[in-house]
Amino acid sequence: MRFRSTDDLISRYTTDMSRGGMFVATAEALPLDTAIELALELPDGGAPAIVRGRVVSTLDEVRARQLGRQPGLGISFTEDTAALGERIAAFFANTHQGVTSPAAVHVLVAEDSATYRAQIEAALRAAGHRVTSVENGLTALGAAVREPPDLVLCDVNMPLMDGWQLVRILRERPTTREIPIVFLTTLGGDADRLRGYQLGVDDYLGKPFEPAGLAERLRKVIERIRAQRAEGPSALRGDLAQVSVASLLSFVEAERRSGVLLLRGAGEASVHVRQGLITRVDLPEPGPSRLRDRILVVLDFRQGRFAMTQSEPADADEALSIQPVLLEHARLADEATREK
């Protein structure tokens, strides 16, 4: 059973449930004294609360219409509901009497490790967020379809359906394609992280993680992703701390992409590419004049965000492959290390 709102929950509990019973709207008629088990979905995001009782009255459709009510059953509880009351009270206490913070969000967690799930749930609920927690990608897909969350935090390697498959399917469905997705993973290579960004992963959270800062980090991820999407579509987005500029440009060349790669961090730069070849580099400062030297500058970018837009790249007389420049960049870095 799901309550219409937190106001409905507190009203039902204080007027009926705390007194040992409740009315359940249902078209199914049951004989008096039938044992019944109710699964109550509470707004704290935890597992449903199971309450046992027996049928003590019925309201059929004819009588319900006369009274302007819904047909249903009167239930008398057969066990103590003190634990239920404590759980409801804790929820309202943590959400300031049912009014959640404007920053509060609904997070769908897909993680097959019970230990990680428990850590994530505790950290997010302590910050006032609502959590739906599942142990594999298939169950996560069902939960997202039924009630799209504000963010999906999922592991990569899971039974039944892994994180790669989950992201692909969520991005293909109109009702879920805009949900921010964060991979909770030990992925260490640029190629794997680029694959995730291609599929539509918005960010990565490495394992192990610090539970104390989890809620704040995810809040910032949601705000940043919403702001980015408001700016317009992008073929590829990500974090330069996760994928190097060298890997990005190698991927763009291999895929023969055309567009403008925007790099935003301590400074801003844009790399224009046509059919995988670099035609222009705009730097935050004038910088060197030669295109090759300007590419060497952006290869040193280590922090910030990147976005590959579908903007028309600038035409130029010169177009360079990234591979020879990467070799030169590696040589210069090796020489600098030796000098130290």
pLDDT in tens, 254-283: 888 888 999 987 678 999 999 889 999 999
pLDDT in tens, 183-196: 987 766 788 888 88
Does residue 223 surpass a pLDDT of 90? no
User: What is 102-231's CATH number?
Assistant: 3.40.50.2300
Q: How does the average pLDDT of the chain come out, rounded?
A: 83
Statement: 6-92 belongs to CATH 2.40.10: yes
Does residue 80 surpass a pLDDT of 80? yes
Cα–Cα distance measured from residue 118 to residue 116, given in angstroms and rounded to the nearest whole number: 5
The residue extents of the domains of the chain are 6-92, 102-231, 245-339
Supply the pLDDT for residue 152: 94
Q: If pLDDT is split at 50, 70 and 90, which confidence band does 167 have? A: very high
Supply the pLDDT for residue 213: 77
